[in-house]
Copies of this chain bind each other. A is one copy, B any other.
């Protein structure tokens, strides 16, 4: 009994309101519940989540530490606008981290993982056909993180998730255009083929391509916004 205590204490359901609030806010950010510039106040979040100010404040503090929220003033936390410089930096970081994750994933890939990826890709295509962009975005994330998890590097995955959370709110609004272009389909196909060959370098290249494609499109839309 004493031996399982140290290993399994996380198993019990999360009774910590702070962590629950963090997870919920994180989810809403991921799902496009907020737009860049939206103010995050302790009291409004506490009301929205039905908790008191302490857990709400914990959630905001943590997301701020991770870069998913930023200070716009001494007493003002907002969902960040991603400028061109920010986008460049986060992209370079993503290339480094997700490239590493992909490279490490190849060694731990099994056939059933590839089958699962094929299923997810079918889901993505279906979602695109029915113009269910929010779903497509979700499946796209599933695709990426299924591979990244194969790396067996939990801390690395947490870092990658933090980067996605940074670009998410800015990315989400203009997904329709992205989806129409279907730029991700070819890259995902390349990734699956690389995985079948257990070719770590090719897998990395496929994901880097995907990241770079997304970067170019996001940057273009950023310039469009500032230009007109």
Contact = CB atoms under 8 A, between A and B. Distances in A.
A150 to B, nearest CB: 14
Counted per complex, copies of this chain come to: 2
Contacts of A86: 155
A93 B89 contact: no
Given A62-B61, A97-B93, A6 B155 contact: no
A156 B89 contact: yes
A86 B159 CA distance: 15
B62 A93 contact: no
A89 B159 contact: no
A72 B11 CA distance: 13
A74 interface: yes
Interface residues of A, number: 31
Contact of A9 (B58, B67, B74, B156): B74
Given A5-B73, A155-B67, A100 B93 contact: yes
Given A61-B58, A62-B65, A65-B66, A159 B5 contact: no
A92 B58 contact: no
Contacts of A71: 10
A69 B216 CA distance: 37
Interface in A69-84: 71-74
Contact of A155 (B61, B89, B100): B89
Contacts of A5: 73
A155 B90 contact: yes
Contacts of A66: 65
Given A6-B73, A9-B73, A72-B6, A159 B61 contact: no
6 contacts: A10-B71, A62-B65, A67-B158, A92-B153, A93-B100, A93-B155
Given A67-B158, A89-B154, A93-B153, 7 more contacts: A9-B73, A9-B74, A89-B153, A89-B155, A89-B156, A93-B156, A159-B159
Interface of A: 5-6, 9-10, 12, 58, 61-62, 65-67, 71-74, 86, 89-90, 92-93, 96-97, 99-100, 104, 153-156, 158-159
